[in-house]
Amino acid sequence: MSFQLCQLRRRYRQWLSKPFHLPRAASALGSVLLLASGSARAIDVLQIRLPLLQEDFSVRIDELASPDALWEGKSDLAELNRATNGAYALKLQELLNHPLPMQEDLGAPMVRQVELVLKRLIDVPANEANLLDSKPLQAGMRKLKAEGRQATLLNLLQAIPGHKVSIRLDRAVAFLKQINQNNAQITELLKTLPALPAAPPAALRRGPFAITTQVVNLPLTAGNESLEVTVVRPVGPPSLPAVVISHGLWDSPSSFLGWAQHLASHGAPVLLPRHPGSDISQQAQMLAGNAPPPDPREFLRRPRDVKAVLDALENGQIPGAEGIPARGLTFIGHSWGGTTALQLAGARSLQATLWQACKHTNNPERNRNLSWVLQCTFLPAATVESLADPRFVRVVAVSPPQALVFAAGLVDLQKPVLLISGSSDLVVPAQPEALDPFHLYPLDHSQMVLVEGGTHFNLPAPADSDGGPLRVLLLHWVQGKPLKADAAVADPAGRVLHLVPQRGPVPANR
């Protein structure tokens, strides 16, 4: 060990003598293993594998309390730190004590987002696969808040009982810095945007129509799979055109029944297809890079699913949907469903642009984010052809992954698009995936709303909700009304909705 340590001392003296940059330091550190003596105790020992000699160096967490503590420590890492005159401690602490992107809201949607972020940065053993799931994470986050401790990577892992995890320091620091920079930009932007006025009570409440809900199966589609559709409709003749709502990756129609019920109670029949190739499963694992994504052909099959629903509606093949016209419809999609919305509105995916951005998986470009994991899988199915459907007259795209897959194709949008993004969305962040692409939309029929405190998971509304913070905004768009600064569409008891101006400077990175 002493000969290897001498080699490490020499090599790390050379490394430490160079100007320090967080991403390079993270890459040099490699992976970190956190160990504890029992599953009921908090993690208290780190093992760091240094890539130069592939040796494991242990350090107790209490030795990381301060540079002085590590200097006085007895671990292998403490010895290495002394050999490098203490500079190693400063660098390691900067990495592990970088703040996590957490807001005051520690409810299920925010915890779900932090879960996705941590699973991007941390590997866990197969026998503790649920160590970073929402329930233990929420308990750890609440513990830190109650103790008044900052939510850093190190502190949160100390608050979670466990045996062993591996921190991906090669990607952690740059990723967390990018998230924090985006959050700071959005916070400043919100101060400059007008807030939309509160909606009248009649629009916030359920409408005058009684509603029915029915789950049906369409005849076999071209792919030889039966397509399930949930039909939520007003009793009697509808007073508004029909709406199709598309769920996101590994989600289901049930997450959007609150939207559907509110719209149907005000006179709009709603059809919610279940996309069989990308419905509910373990989304976090895929976005973290720990599970394979859906087949790339799903990128094209989802629009075909929707077209199959419209064809069946036109042919009278949907039980419970009798008398609903298949023209003049509105399409609403969330997450991947929002990407589908843009496809159906005419946005094109140009393969050359997509490939240039995806072929380097460690590209440090500012816009890289969790949603690129999904967008890069679309590459084999990218097409220059438009998938616009004339039966839709307007669409709503809520939190859509779009900046990469439609980098050169948003100018082809043919339908009025309402783009909605949450200011606190960590999965499909607002700045790179909504605000920047919005500048490429045709300005004569584009609108964007930024939801203050909105995450990737708290904008949809399940059946047991009041319809969520977007219910009046969605109804307003379905009714074909223009969205102006005086549009009364916000829930005064819910989240603030900010209207983003249609015109503005084109971002410098475009």
CATH number assigned to the domain comprising residue 220: 3.40.50.1820
Read off the pLDDT of each residue in 357-370 and give the average, rounded to a whole number: 64
Per the model's pLDDT, the better-predicted residue between 177 and 187 turns out to be 187
For residue 208, give Cα distances in angstroms to 201, 211, 265, 478.
Answer: 13, 9, 6, 17
Q: How far apart are CA 437 and CA 441, in angstroms?
A: 7
Query: Are residue 288 and residue 324 in the same domain, yes or no?
Result: yes
Residue recorded with tokens 């783009």: 419
Bridge partners for 500 per DSSP: 448
Query: Are residue 217 and residue 182 in the same domain, yes or no?
Result: no
Residue 250 lies in a domain: yes
Residue recorded with tokens 């001392």: 9
Query: Per-residue confidence at 431, pLDDT binned at 50, 70, 90?
Result: very high
Structure tokens at 309: 């629903």
Task: Answer yes or no: is pLDDT of 22 > 50.
Answer: no
Residue 509 lies in a domain: no
Q: How far apart are CA 347 and CA 339, in angstroms?
A: 9
Please report, rounded to a whole number, the percentage of residues in the chain having pLDDT higher than 90: 45
Q: Helix, strand, or coil here: 78?
A: helix
Q: How far apart are CA 110 and CA 399, in angstroms?
A: 15
Please report the pLDDT score of residue 374 as a whole number: 84
In sequence order, the 6+-apart residues with CB closer than 8 A to the CB of 234 are 209, 210, 211, 264, 265, 267, 268, 269
Domain termination site, one of 166, 188, 210: 188
Query: Are residue 235 and residue 282 in the same domain, yes or no?
Result: yes
Structure tokens at 335: 């997450």
Domain termination site, one of 188, 222, 246: 188
Query: Are residue 212 and residue 97 in the same domain, yes or no?
Result: no
In our burial notation (b when 16+ CB lie closer than 10 A, e otherwise), range 492-507 reads: eebbbbbbbeeeeeeb
* Cα–Cα nearest to 299, from 329, 344, 363: 344
Per the model's pLDDT, the better-predicted residue between 510 and 363 turns out to be 363
Query: Are residue 155 and residue 265 in the same domain, yes or no?
Result: no
Residue recorded with tokens 């499909």: 428
Read off the pLDDT of each residue in 303-315 and give the average, rounded to a whole number: 94
Rg (CA), the chain: 25
Number of domains in the chain: 2
Q: How far apart are CA 174 and CA 176, in angstroms?
A: 6
Structure tokens at 419: 């783009």
Query: Are residue 89 and residue 142 in the same domain, yes or no?
Result: yes
Residue 404 lies in a domain: yes
Task: Answer yes or no: is pLDDT of 282 > 70.
Answer: no
Q: How far apart are CA 157 and CA 169, in angstroms?
A: 14
Helix or strand (DSSP H, E) at 117: helix 108-121
Q: How far apart are CA 412 and CA 347, in angstroms?
A: 5
Least confident of 2-6, 40-44, 372-376: 2-6
Q: How far apart are CA 8 and CA 80, in angstroms?
A: 8
Name the residue range of residue 421's domain: 201-500
Report the predicted TM-score, pTM, of the whole model to 2 decimal places. 0.78
Domain termination site, one of 159, 188, 217: 188
Read off the pLDDT of each residue in 400-424 and give the average, rounded to a whole number: 94
Query: Are residue 274 and residue 212 in the same domain, yes or no?
Result: yes
Query: Are residue 225 and residue 364 in the same domain, yes or no?
Result: yes
Query: Are residue 32 and residue 68 in the same domain, yes or no?
Result: yes
Per the model's pLDDT, the better-predicted residue between 141 and 415 turns out to be 415
Please report the pLDDT score of residue 14 as a whole number: 47
Per the model's pLDDT, the better-predicted residue between 249 and 272 turns out to be 272
Q: Looking at this protein, which amino acid is placed at residue 55?
A: E
Bridge partners for 60 per DSSP: 45
Provide the sign of the torsion angle of the four alpha carbons 305, 309, 310, 312, taken in this order.
positive
Please report the pLDDT score of residue 244 as a whole number: 98
Mean pLDDT of the residues in the chain: 80
Phi (first) and psi of residue 214, to 5 degrees:
-145, 135
Please report the pLDDT score of residue 304 as a whole number: 93
Query: Are residue 136 and residue 226 in the same domain, yes or no?
Result: no
Report DSSP state, residue 99: B
Query: Are residue 212 and residue 126 in the same domain, yes or no?
Result: no
Per the model's pLDDT, the better-predicted residue between 75 and 212 turns out to be 212
In our burial notation (b when 16+ CB lie closer than 10 A, e otherwise), range 233-270 reads: bbeeebebbbbbbbbbbbbbbbbbbbbbbbbbbbbbbb
